[in-house]
Amino acid sequence: MSNTDAPEDGRRLRSKTSRDKMVAAMIELVREGAIMPSAEQVATRAEVGLRTVFRQYKDMETLYAAMLGGLSQYYEGWAKPLTAPDWQGQLVELTERRITTYERLLPFKRAGDAHRHMSTSIEAENVRMLALMRARLRMLVPADLSDMVGFETLDLIVSFAAWQRLRSEQNLSVEQARDVVLGHVDRFIAEAA
């Protein structure tokens, strides 16, 4: 490596460190309940200058998109193969994984919903996740049980929207909301038998 490469590498490292700190700050602020953190709040929490925020991210939309990427760790459990031997057990297992993830992501869902109408990246991520979740559910439920009403009802019951409503609007505890969701999943399984 030549001496001229060292300053460039140092700048890149500082730049990456600053970006990482800003994404972490954004995640912390939203987790704490800030639906629309300002650039000033992010700069203060990340301990960087306000100009650094906009030097690294052209606007808050770009920073929100980076935050979404930073939340991918919450979805890691979804990629693991289901272990139950039959589709009924796998459906319960899938639902449990979703519930765990939904609960962790609830503050981010609220913030995302508040921004979705003005953020193409958040809307695109929402559409992508919904499509993936529906496809995974459709692959799991046997085709002969996938009548429109049954499948659409099941998809609704195990959706983030249903979880959010149970927790936020209906003020159910995690355990109560979990019982409601799993109770409907159990009914679907029983009716399929």
Residue 117's Cβ-side half-sphere holds a number of Cα atoms within 13 Å equal to 2
Angle between helices 174-192 and 148-157 (to 10 degrees): 160
pLDDT digits (tens, 9 = 90+) for 13-37: 888 888 889 999 998 998 898 888 8
Distance separating alpha carbons of residues 102 and 124, to the nearest angstrom: 19
At 31, the amino acid letter reads R
Q: Does the pLDDT of residue 162 top 90, yes or no?
A: yes
Cβ–Cβ < 8 Å for 55, 42 = no
Q: What is the pLDDT of residue 5?
A: 55
Q: DSSP string covering 89-104, please?
A: HHHHHHHHHHHHHHHH
Per-residue DSSP letter, 159: S
**pLDDT for the residue 4:** 53
The pTM (predicted TM-score) of the whole model is 0.77
- What tens digit of pLDDT does each residue of 49-89 get? 989 988 888 888 888 878 877 777 677 667 788 999 999 99
Choice between 115 and 131, residue whose per-residue pLDDT is larger = 131
- Six-digit token string for 111: 């913030």
- Angstrom distance (rounded) from CA 185 to CA 53: 45
Measured distance CA(25)–CA(46) in Å, rounded: 5
Going by C-beta distance under 8 Å and a sequence separation of 6 or more, which residues neighbour residue 114?
35, 36
